[in-house]
Structures are given as C-alpha cells and as structure tokens.
Amino acid sequence: MKFNKIISILIITILTFSFIACDGKSDASFSNDENNESSETLINIDVNCTTPATVSEYITLNSGDLIVEDDSAVVNIYHDANETKKVCLVSGTAHILRK
C-alpha cells in the first residue's frame, strides 16, 4: 500500500512538471511582431514635388506605411481623384517603411 502511494505521488509530480514545462509557448519561434520588423521594405521617396510632375507620378502610400524624414526633410502628401494618398519630396531625404 505504501509503495502504491509513493508511485502515485511520483507520477503526479512528473505529470505536474510536464504540464508546467509545456505551457504552450515555444522559445524557438519568433512572435509576429519580430517577423514583421524583419519583413519591412524601405522605399526611398525620390519624386521631387518641385519638378514638373503630376500627382499620378508621386509614390502611393499604403495603409500602415511609415514616412521617415531624414536630414530635416519636407514631404507633401496629396490625395488623387480616387482619394489615394500620394507622397513627394520637397527637400532633404526621406523614405517609407512598408510592412
């Protein structure tokens, strides 16, 4: 009888540690945020607003795009006839981070 209790306690202890160790999380995989950061695309804003260019030639912005202005840049954002956002560069250098 005493032997059965010891075996039962041992099995319960092993099962408890097994469930604690397997909490459903995997340290070997990356979270979605980490994967998205590595999959960002850098797009240089190289269309100048001051040269004769039409809004259709400006760079189209997508939802979630981040405009990064380098070197005290100035950018303009326009909406075309379809309410699509377009961007062009007035001065300095800038780029878009697209996920």
Q: Look up tokens 């995989």; give the residue.
A: 29
Distance CA 16, CA 10 (A): 10
Torsion of CA 45, 51, 57, 61, to 10 degrees: 30
Pairing of strands 41-44, 66-79: unpaired
Calculate mean pLDDT across residues 48-63. Answer: 82
Length of the chain: 99
Q: Where are the alpha helices (DSSP H) in the chain?
A: 2-21, 32-38
pLDDT digits (tens, 9 = 90+) for 21-42: 444 433 333 333 444 455 889 9
pLDDT band at 10 (very low <50, low <70, confident <90, very high): low
pTM attached to this predicted model: 0.56
